[in-house]
Amino acid sequence: MKLARYALNGAIRIGRIDQAEATIVPIAGVSDMVDAIERIDDIGGVAAGDAPAHSLADVRLLAPIPAPLRNIFCVGKNYREHAREFSNSGYEAGAVKGAEIDSHPAVFTKPASTVVGPNDVVQLHAHITSSVDYEAELALIIGKQGRDIKPEHAYDHIFGYTIVNDVTARDRQRNHKQWFLGKALDTFCPMGPWIATREDVDSENLDVKCWVNGELRQNANTRDLIFDIPTLVAIISAGLTLKPGDIIATGTPAGVGLGFNPPKFLRAGDTVSISISHLGTLTNTFQ
């Protein structure tokens, strides 16, 4: 099942997508994605009822969860080749040659103010940074509250998956010797175009691809994650209660802008498109 938040005729709705028919059907009585996540069983698997279908071409898809109640949890350096390119780039403060792969996942957060939707403009903030980079990532959405979740029970707590672009100001990330200020600028977390529920997605075998202005830059598979999804859920939930609607971005593969010589950072007018198997394509322009 694929659920999306969308705008039509001045109203914002939650709907169920039929990719084969390229349509979306509004879900009666549901006005918020977290509400849908929490009520998924009560509303009969979000049955559409008698509501008419709309062509996807006629609606505007929005960020599935536009204002998370808590910061988005993010994992850094979770693909081996990206960990190496980051360490060798000169933008990782404290990088140590030969120790590119961490023994524990690096976890940071992005505030809710970073979230924008498909086709929204991402601000380059040129007055404070000159090195804005893209990061294609699979993100999981928590559906069932839990703390101290064991890896073998992790999938029971996952509602579904979406795409995020963990946009980063590399100079701020390097200069401040931590990641938050480079990751937290307004509009720095495009999200969408929808959420695919966990039963429809083999999250351990998803192709992750990213194009900049039509040039394929990132091309990997989630089976290459250093710390897999059950491990991430277990580590992040240790002593910390995860709640429905919480978002965990799982890391980006190699091919980001800082990995090139010279780096290929984003400029005004650039378009970034990210595709993940079964999750559609998330496209944004940078200005």
pLDDT tens sequence across 246-264: 999 999 999 999 999 999 9
Q: What is the mean pLDDT of the chain?
A: 93
Residue 47 has pLDDT above 90, yes or no: no
Tell me: the pLDDT tens digits for 66-123? 999 999 999 999 999 998 998 888 888 776 776 678 899 999 999 999 999 999 999 9
Residue 45 has pLDDT above 70, yes or no: no
**Mean of pLDDT values over 160-183:** 96
d(CA 5, CA 65): 8
Lowest mean pLDDT among 45-59, 182-196, 231-245: 45-59
Give the pLDDT of residue 93. Answer: 75
How remote is the C-alpha of 63 from its chain's centroid? 10
d(CA 150, CA 137): 23
CA count, 13 A, side-chain hemisphere, 222: 25
Q: Are 212 and 271 in contact (CB under 8 A)?
A: yes
d(CA 32, CA 43): 13
Tell me: the pLDDT tens digits for 58-73? 999 999 999 999 999 9
Q: Predicted confidence band at 42 (pLDDT cuts at 50, 70, 90)?
A: low
CB atoms within 10 A of CB 144: 15
Q: Measure the CA dihedral 238/240/244/246, to 10°.
A: -90
* 14 bridge partner residues: 5
Query: Can you give the residue ranges of every domain in the chain?
Result: 2-62, 72-286
**Mean of pLDDT values over 10-14:** 93
Helix (H, G, I), strand (E, B) or coil at 65: coil
pLDDT > 90 in the chain, percent: 84
CA distances from 206 to 73, 239, 275 (A): 20, 30, 10
Close Cβ partners of 180 (under 8 Å, ≥ 6 residues apart): 108, 109
Give the pLDDT of residue 193. Answer: 98
Residue 52 has pLDDT above 90, yes or no: no
- For the whole model, what pTM was predicted? 0.95
**Mean of pLDDT values over 168-184:** 95
Q: What is the CATH number of domain 72-286?
A: 3.90.850.10
For 67, counting Cβ atoms within 10 Å of its Cβ (0-12 exposed, 13-18 middle, 19+ buried), the class is exposed
Q: Predicted confidence band at 202 (pLDDT cuts at 50, 70, 90)?
A: very high
Of 234, 186, 185, the residue nearest 75 (C-alpha)? 234
